[in-house]
Amino acid sequence: MPRILITGAAGFLGSHLCDRFIAEGYEVVAMDNLITGDLRNLEHLQALPQFSFVHHDVSTHIHLNGPLDYILHFASPASPIDYLKIPIQTLKVGSLGTHNCLGLALAKNARILVASTSEVYGDPLVHPQTEEYWGNVNPIGPRGVYDEAKRFQEALTMAYHTYHGLETRIVRIFNTYGPRMRLNDGRVLPAFIGQALRGEDLTIFGDGSQTRSFCYVDDLIEGIVRLLHSDCADPVNIGNPDEITIGQFAEEIIALTGTSQKVIYKDLPVDDPKQRQPDITKARALLGWEPQIDRKEGLKRTYAYFRSLTQEELRQTDHNNFDQYIQK
């Protein structure tokens, strides 16, 4: 049974990765400090003998007994609300946390995949964004703590690959959505759906002309798994190139939810990217991967998940009770 460590495992993407590797017969060690993660995302796995949870901050150190075949480093705040609230922790997990994960991978002779982001491109001057584009990032702006942490993470990962010969993979993740997203994390899709379900007006920052490209979580996970098992050490974009304006997206959410709320407009945050669309030519060629679930179907599944939440959960989503979890 291959053994894999997944950091940030109680988060949106981390928990879906736990599901995937459990289903494929792996022993999964899930690690999270629960600053932004939620143990409810993992509660369906807790009784399985091949699953264990470790409550730990990877920015301090990482010690893990026994052999290890793979590491997926997904520990990091991933939304503007989070990394503006905890900027130092965001920088530390991207730098110190990555260093610790790479050191563990080297000691265990494990292959490691690190989760980078489309934010390394900043507010792009090239459209769509290819992996060869170096980006347009403000290092001292409010988003710089996240953008630069991820850029440093990529540089450190590649240094371990070239200097130590470590097997490394880098995935640049574009906007992703699906069940287990936090309604209060500040990203546009859960924000719109949460507002609709609470009977609030939908808030657009800016004039709504900025664009995003949304990838359903199942497609993203498939791309990550293929990249992990590939021979590609260079960064690879994984996302859906189907681009839409935020204004159009708000109309789609209103139609989906059947609500009658109006759209209100507020000032655009500093350094908010105006365009975001992945060029996935490399993923198609190297991984044989491209999205399979269109936005209409993905939104339907995501809305069904959010509708299943209680009114209390729509307002408060941070419930972490680790008494029932095995600490190792």
Q: State which H helix or E strand residue 282 sits in.
A: helix 281-287
DSSP 55-73: E--TTT-----S--SEEEE
C-alpha to C-alpha distance for 283 and 238, rounded to whole angstroms = 7
Residues near 316 by beta carbon (within 8 Å), at least 6 away in sequence = none
Question: Which amino acid is located at 312 in the chain?
Answer: E
Known catalytic residue: 177?
A: no
Rg, the chain, Cα only:
19
Handedness of CA 111, 115, 323, 45 (dihedral sign): negative
Residues near 87 by beta carbon (within 8 Å), at least 6 away in sequence = 145
Q: Reduce the DSSP state of residue 238 to 3 states and report it.
A: strand
C-alpha to C-alpha distance for 74 and 101, rounded to whole angstroms = 10
C-alpha to C-alpha distance for 40 and 45, rounded to whole angstroms = 10
Per annotation, catalytic residue among 26, 83, 146, 177? 146
Cα-to-chain-centroid distance, residue 164? 27
With contact defined as beta carbons under 8 Å apart, do 86 and 77 qualify?
yes
With contact defined as beta carbons under 8 Å apart, do 45 and 22 qualify?
yes
With contact defined as beta carbons under 8 Å apart, do 59 and 92 qualify?
yes
For the annotated catalytic residues, the residue numbers are: 146
